[in-house]
Structure 1
Amino acid sequence: MGSSWKQGLAAFTSVAVVAALLAGCGTNSTSSGKSADTNANSSSETASTSGQKPVEGGSIILDSTQAVPDLDPAVAYDTTSAEVDSQIYQSLVTYDKNTYKIIPELASSYTVSPDGLTYTFKIRKGVTFSNGDPLTAQDFVFQLERILDKKMTPKPSPGNSFFEIIKGATAYYNGTAKTISGVSTPDKYTLVLTLSKPEKFFLQVLAMQFLSAVDPAYVKKVGNAAFDTTSAMGTGPFELKTNNQNKVVLVKNPHYWQKDQWGQQLPYLNQVTINVNNNDQVDALHWEQGQTAFMSPWLIGGDGIPASQYVTIMNTPKYKQLVLKQPANSIFYIGLNTANTINGKPNPLSNVFVRRAMEYGFDDSQFVKINNGAVLPLNQPLPSTMEGYVKNLDSDAKYGLNVAKAKEMLAKAGYRNGLTVDMWDENTSVAMKEDQAFQAMMKNIGITVKIHDVTWKDFLTKAMSGTAQVYQSGWVQDFPDASDFLNTLFNSDQAPTNNNTNYDNSQVDQWLNEAQNDTNQAQRDELYGKVINQVMSDAVWIPTIQMIDYYSVQPWVHGFYTSPVLYDPMSSIWVDPGH
C-alpha cells in the first residue's frame, strides 16, 4: 500500500514524537506489513529517562523508504514530507503531546468570540526564523495568501479548501479580491481571523502544517520551487542543510526559541540525517544493527516495521522490548476512478457495476496476511476508532469475497468477457506484493490489471491529477474529525487533488456540506453515516485495512514519545554520549 497523503494518529505511547498529514496528511501515507502483538510496549514514558536531565549534542541517523516530495508547508500533503516539515516549521497552535487538546505554539495566546466567528491570536514575541529574521503576524497573512493562490507556481496548495471558511477567502481564491477581508493585523504581533460561519474544528485546521509561519522576504528571494525542495526555512527546532533523492540532513536551529525545564535550549541534537533507501528489509537490518536510532511509520511507511523483518523483530526479545505500538486513525484503500473518461479515453469504471464487481472480487484476508496479521480489516472509509464510524452498514453498502456475484456484476455492466484496467502505486516491497495479490484477485473474476509501481513522488503526481484509473493509497488524519476523511476525500469540490476518484454525487455533497457547518455532533454523525453508506453503495473505494502503528526505538535514544496527532519529536530526543 502507498504512503498516505496525511498526518496524525489516534492513541499514544512513548519511550521517554509523531502529520495530515497528512496528510493528512490527513496526508497520504506509505505501505505496511505486520502482526498485532498485544505484548508490544504501550507505556507512555520509559522509566530510565523520565525526569532525567537530557544530554545536549550528538546526532542520529534514520532511514526512509522514500525521498521527500515537498517541503513548502503550503504544498506538502503526505506523511514523508510532513515528518520533515514538522521539524522545520511551526503553526499558530499545536496539540498537547498526550491528548487532542489544542495549545498555543507560535501564538502566545488566543481568544475566540462568543459567536465563534472571530479568532484573535497574540503572536509570540522574540521568535525568529532560523536566518535570524523576526516573526510577525504578517508572516501568517503572507502564507495564507500563498495557500489561497490557485495560480501559485510550480503548483498550488492542496490545502486551500480548509481555509475557505475565512471571510473573503473564496473571493481571493477566485481572483475577485486583492485581499482577504476576514484577515487583519491590528499591530505587529496580533492576527485576527474572521470566519463566514462557525466551524467546530477550525483550531484543528490551524494546527495543520499549511498555515505555518514562513518568511516573506526569504521566500521571495529563493522562489517557490527552491523553497519546496532545497531551501526550506522556518522557525522550527531544525533547519535544512541538505535535501535530495538520497538523503535529508537537518541541523540544529541556533535561533530556536524553546527551552526545556532545565533551561537548556532545544533541540538537544546537533544533526539528524535521514537516508533514503527504497529497501525496507535493509532499513530493518540497519536498525537491528544499531545504525539507525528508530523506525516509525512516518519514515519506514505502513505501520513502522518492514513486513520482511516483522517476525524476526517481534520474536526476538531484545528487539521486541524496544517496540512501542498504538492504534492509528489511518486507513488504506484501493481507489476506483469514477470519471467518464481518462486522458480522453472511455473509462469502464464509470459504470458502478464494474466497481461493484471489483468490490466483490476483493479478498481482504490476503492483505491482512501480507501484513503479517498486524492490521485490521476495513469495510468503510473511516477508521473504527473515529467518531462517525458506522457499525452496521446498509445491505447495499456491504461486500465481501463473492466471485459469482462479481462476474454477475461484470455481465450486468456489459463486460461478460472481461476488461483491462491500469493500477498505480508506489514501488515499495509491501505495496508491490499487495498489488500483485490484487491483480490475481481481479484475474479470477475476469479483469486484467496492468500494474504501474513508481516512486512516491510520481505516484502522488499521478493520483492527485485525477488520472489514475485504479490506485492504492492511504489516509492518515490531519485532525480528529470525520470530516477530514469524508469531506476531504469525497466532496466533488475536492476533485481531483484530494478526491482522486473524481467522485461526484450531489446528494453526498449536500450531506457533507451540512455536516461541515453543523455544530451538533449527533446530527453530524447521522449525516456522515448517510455519506458512508452511499459512498460504499457507489463502490468508490475498496477499503482494505486499518493500521496499528509500531515504533522501534534504540535503548540509547531518550525523549521519544508517540502522540495521537503529532509527528516524530526530534526536538525532544537526546542520545547517550558517543552517539
Structure 2
Amino acid sequence: MPLVDPTSPRRLLRVVASLTVVGLVLGGCVSPPPKVFTPPPSRQMTAGGGRLDVPLSSDVLTLQPVLTTDETSARVWSLIYLPLLDTDPDNGALRPGLAESYVVSADGKTITFTLRPGLVWSDGEPVTGDDYVYALDALARAKKGAGLEDAVAGYREYAIGRSDRIAGLSVSDSGRVIQVSLARTLCNVLQLLNMPLLPKHSFVHDWQDRVLRSTGSLEQSPLNNAPPASVGPFQFLGADSRRRYHPRSQ
C-alpha cells in the first residue's frame, strides 16, 4: 500500500514525497542543469497558543512515518515530524522546509541540502543531518521506499544487510549539510528524497541503524505510537482512542 502525503493540497496523496511510487515514468527525463533554491524573505509569524481540532475519518494506526500506509495517520504525524522540503499549497511545488536551500548538481546525480541554523527538537536536542540519514536508514530496513533502491547509491545494499550504511548519504558542516549521491538521475528525485526527519537520539535506543542486521528495523519500537520529540508546530502529549467527540445519546 502506498504511503500518503498529508502536506499536499489534495487529501489522498502519497506520503511525504511519494516514497512508494512504483512504475515511474522516466522516458524523456534528461539531466537537469545545476539548480540552487533559496527561501524567499521570512514572513512575520503569528502568535502561538490556542487549540486546533482536526476531524479524522478513521483511527490513527501509527505515528511512525516509516510505517504509515494510511491518510489519517499521516495527517497526525505530519504535525510532529517535518521533511526537508515543504509543499506549496497553491501549486504543489516543493519549497524550503527544514532545509533552507538545496542544490542539484549539473549531472543531476548529487543533491545537497542545507538545514536552517538553530533547529532543535522539542526536547532541546539539535536537529542534524544524522536525523535525516537515520530516517532513510529506517525506511530501507523496513523494506519501504520503492523507487529509492535503484536511485540512491548504496540504498539497496543497506536494505538487504550487505552494508552497514547507505553509501550515497553523507553529513558535514556540523550536521547542517546533507549530500545525497544518486546511482542514476530521476526527474522526481526531490519528491523521493523528501522524507520527514526522526529524532535519532530517541529512536536509537530501540534500533541501531549502523548495526549490520538484515532483519533489524524500527517496526517494534514503542515510540512509533508515542513520538518522543517534535520539530513541527505541535508536540505529542498523548492519545485516547476511547474518547468520543460526539457522545452517543443516552
Is TM > 0.5 for Structure 1 vs Structure 2? Answer: yes
Higher helix share: 1
State whether residues 113 and 119 of structure 1, in contact with CA within 8 Å, keep that contact through their aligned partners in structure 2. yes
Point out where structure 1 has 5 or more consecutive residues left out of the alignment. 13-17, 28-52, 150-155, 248-274, 283-579
Q: CA deviation at 1:235?
A: 0.8
State whether residues 109 and 182 of structure 2, in contact with CA within 8 Å, keep that contact through their aligned partners in structure 1. yes
- Of the three residues 239, 242, 252, the one matched with 2:238 is 242
- Of the three residues 5, 10, 14, the one matched with 1:7 is 5
- Of the three residues 76, 95, 120, the one matched with 1:128 is 120
State whether residues 21 and 82 of structure 1, in contact with CA within 8 Å, keep that contact through their aligned partners in structure 2. no
Counting only pairs closer than 5 Å after superposition, residues 522-541 of structure 1 correspond to structure 2 as none
The residue that corresponds to 1:162 in the other structure is 147
* Structure of higher RCO (CA pairs closer than 8 Å, 6+ residues apart): 1
The DSSP-based 3-state class of the residue aligned with 2:162 is: coil
State whether residues 9 and 89 of structure 2, in contact with CA within 8 Å, keep that contact through their aligned partners in structure 1. no
Q: CA deviation at 1:246?
A: 2.9
The residue that corresponds to 1:177 in the other structure is 163
State whether residues 183 and 194 of structure 1, in contact with CA within 8 Å, keep that contact through their aligned partners in structure 2. yes
State whether residues 57 and 72 of structure 2, in contact with CA within 8 Å, keep that contact through their aligned partners in structure 1. no
Verify: 1:194 aligned to 2:197, yes or no.
no
Counting only pairs closer than 5 Å after superposition, residues 43-122 of structure 1 correspond to structure 2 as 56-122=48-114
- With over 3 angstroms needed to count, the CA separation of the structure-2 counterparts of 1:145 and 1:100, relative to structure 1, is same
What is the TM-score normalised by the length of structure 2?
A: 0.73
Counting only pairs closer than 5 Å after superposition, residues 36-435 of structure 1 correspond to structure 2 as 56-149=48-141, 156=142, 159-164=144-149, 165-188=151-174, 189-207=176-194, 211-221=195-205, 224=218, 225-246=221-242
State whether residues 8 and 89 of structure 2, in contact with CA within 8 Å, keep that contact through their aligned partners in structure 1. no
State whether residues 89 and 234 of structure 1, in contact with CA within 8 Å, keep that contact through their aligned partners in structure 2. yes
Partner amino acid, structure 2, of 1:179: R
Partner amino acid, structure 1, of 2:127: L
Measured in 1, the distance between the counterparts of 2:234 and 2:205 equals 21
Counting only pairs closer than 5 Å after superposition, residues 481-520 of structure 1 correspond to structure 2 as none
The DSSP-based 3-state class of the residue aligned with 1:60 is: coil
Identity %: 25
State whether residues 67 and 276 of structure 1, in contact with CA within 8 Å, keep that contact through their aligned partners in structure 2. no
The DSSP-based 3-state class of the residue aligned with 1:61 is: coil
The residue that corresponds to 1:50 in the other structure is none
- With over 3 angstroms needed to count, the CA separation of the structure-2 counterparts of 1:203 and 1:56, relative to structure 1, is same
Give the number of aligned pairs.
210
State whether residues 80 and 236 of structure 2, in contact with CA within 8 Å, keep that contact through their aligned partners in structure 1. yes
Q: CA deviation at 1:214?
A: 1.3
Point out where structure 2 has 5 or more consecutive residues left out of the alignment. 21-44, 208-217
Higher strand share: 1
Partner amino acid, structure 2, of 1:187: D
- With over 3 angstroms needed to count, the CA separation of the structure-2 counterparts of 1:276 and 1:66, relative to structure 1, is farther
- With over 3 angstroms needed to count, the CA separation of the structure-2 counterparts of 1:105 and 1:128, relative to structure 1, is same
State whether residues 23 and 77 of structure 1, in contact with CA within 8 Å, keep that contact through their aligned partners in structure 2. no
Q: CA deviation at 1:221?
A: 3.7
